[in-house]
Amino acid sequence: MTEPASGTEDESLALAERAGVHRIAVPTPFLVGRVNCYLIEDEPLTLIDTGPNSGKSLDVLAQGLAERGRRIEDLELIVITHQHMDHLGLLEVVARRSGAEVAALGLLAPYLESFRNSAAADDEFAQGVMHRHGVPAELVTALGLVGEAYRAFGSSGEVTRRLREGDTLELRDRTLRAFHRPGHSPSDTIFLDEQQRMLFAGDHLLANISSNPIVSKPLPRWGAEDAGADPGPVERPPALLNYMDSMRATREMEAELVLTGHGEPITDHVALIDRRLRMHQRRAEKMLRMLAGRPLNAYELALQMWGNVAVTQAFLTISEVLGHMDMLIRDGVVHELDDGELSRFQALGAGARPTSP
């Protein structure tokens, strides 16, 4: 969904530049396009996110640093916003060349210790979700092969500063406070510069497109005593419900400028979040109407909503559908029918409709 953003991009970036924050837009091989990395001219010299693991991305990152009179070797702190490879793929290269500390959510540290294995487990989980919700087996297999090929754009790395909710990163001229905002991914972390009222949001909020509430394998609890035990079957987390709760929490923050992981900055995050919450409400109502005739599985709903996009982007659209089914189940107007192999969704009553978010 495309929406207008408040203010102008040039004015917002100029404001960030005056605060010593420089955007470096690094190319990615993904449909979302370039990813925004942010150089913070401070002590320690800080980079927020790195871009994906590719020679072209590394060249653009190095060029962006050089335009500010800096080199990769000058970096002293790398901050990672979440687990997606377009944001952390150059981590190993940049950390090795610079010797910089790496700060990220503590929950993310074990995931990054072996990115390939973690991403493979995510893909296996995603394939199970797609099978259960009606995606044809041959399409699941094809998407699995694509996911395997894309893993090369990711990177392992050691998190040397493991952050919890509310922890701070103390720089010479600013303090960045970390807030866990799961939904788009289980590890989404935003960083608020309270003095400048500037928020580094990663993919938690984007100006012109709504962030996908991606159904992801949960991260193990950091420091859990039973972390090494067999967790048993992994339940599907309610990604959209989590994301909506995260947006409501962010809505209450005092931020005048939100620097995003893709695209342009946001200057009125409250209005944008209100639009997003209303959009999800409307989408849930539309899907409820689709269930009026008979029960449908998530893939059938995705095909009705998005046509061929539901084929080429099956997991993203399935995640979106499941998020809105979770809303409708929460509101008591839809029931999930699960025979152990395939899940379908059934509307409960002709007059049923979801409540306001």
Find how far residue 139's CA is from the centre of its chain.
24
Q: Domain spans of the chain?
A: 9-277, 291-347
Of residues 161 and 13, more confidently modeled: 161
Percent pLDDT > 70 in the chain is 92
Task: Name the token pair of 214.
Answer: 């991606």
- Asked if omega into 44 is within 30° of 0 (cis), the reply is yes
Q: What is the pLDDT of residues 59-108, one digit of tens each?
A: 999 999 999 999 999 999 999 999 999 999 999 999 999 999 999 999 99
Q: Which residues partner with 40 through β-bridges?
A: 21, 46
Domain spanning 9-277, CATH class: alpha beta
How sure is the predictor about 117, in pLDDT bands with cuts at 50, 70 and 90? Answer: very high
Q: What is the pLDDT of residues 21-47, one digit of tens each?
A: 999 999 999 989 999 999 999 999 999
Of residues 351 and 259, more confidently modeled: 259
Residue 213 contacts residue 243 (beta carbons within 8 Å): yes
CA dihedral 306, 310, 315, 316 (to 10 degrees): -30
Amino acid at 215: V
**What is residue 109's predicted lDDT score, i.e. its pLDDT?**
97
pTM, two decimals, is 0.92
The third-level CATH classification (topology) of the domain covering 291-347 is Arc Repressor Mutant, subunit A (1.10.10)
Contacts of 112 (CB under 8 A, 6+ apart): 80, 83, 88, 91, 104, 118, 155, 156, 157, 158, 159
Nearest by Cα to 25 from 6, 5, 55, 52: 52
